[in-house]
Chains A and B, each alone.
Chain A
């Protein structure tokens, strides 16, 4: 597609459930990023994928968070045993070169009740 696609757009889940958030980057973009945006805050780096290299997972806040990228394209961010503090907008971005600036998706708003 022409842009970065994220699904679902909104997700409401019960505390303790697992959720999967999907990101489909721009075709040809080898770099993919996940960020978290909590209410009234800036963006917090979560994870970075580049081609077939090992991902940089240093921003993941706990071991309940994991992400994978299949075939160098689609990525899934999984949050296990969700907590209320996980409520946020999760933004995915991709880029051709890291310094060219990201193209972001519209994000998934996750609400844990």
Chain B
């Protein structure tokens, strides 16, 4: 079975600092998509960034970037210049063999302190 593991239930970062959230996954596929979603208290999941596995270049979206290590099946999210509005639950997700359903990790709660 494909699994997604987020080993950090909670993380804390000071405003303007950088934080890295970890994610590992398991798959036998060679091409697939990986995603990071943010869930603030409003409950709405927001897509932060996505990575296609066959592209070796790490995806970036403004202050958000990933460190994708395909051989290690690792997909960490780096948030630079953290802002108070970044406080939320962050979920790592992997495209399943179906090509449409996602497997999600259990999430990392990020606290941003002034």
- Where the two chains meet, the residues of A that have a C-beta atom closer than 8 Å to any C-beta of B are 31, 33, 40-45, 48, 50, 56, 59, 89, 91, 93, 98-107, 109
Contacts and interface: CB of A to CB of B under 8 A. Distances in A.
B43 A107 contact: yes
Contact of B100 (A40, A50, A105): A50
Contacts of B91: 42-43
A103 B47 contact: yes
B110 to A, nearest CB: 15
B78 interface: no
A44 B104 CA distance: 7
Contacts of B103: 45
B45 interface: yes
Contacts of B44: 104-107
Given A43-B91, A99-B33, A101-B35, A93 B101 contact: no
Contact of B104 (A43, A48, A100): A43
B52 to A, nearest CB: 8
Contacts, number: 60
A102 B37 CA distance: 10
Given A104-B46, A107-B44, 18 more contacts: A31-B100, A33-B101, A42-B91, A43-B102, A43-B104, A44-B104, A45-B102, A48-B100, A50-B100, A56-B100, A56-B101, A98-B100, A101-B35, A102-B47, A102-B102, A103-B47, A104-B44, A105-B44
Contact of A89 (B43, B52, B101, B102): B43
Interface in B74-96: 91, 93, 95-96
Contacts of B47: 101-103
Contacts of B52: 99
Contact of A101 (B4, B42, B43, B50): B50
Looking at A40, A44, A93, A102, the one whose CB has the most chain B CB atoms below 10 A away is A102
Contacts of A101: 35, 47, 50
14 contacts: A42-B105, A42-B107, A43-B93, A45-B101, A45-B102, A48-B101, A56-B98, A56-B101, A91-B45, A99-B52, A99-B95, A102-B102, A104-B37, A105-B44
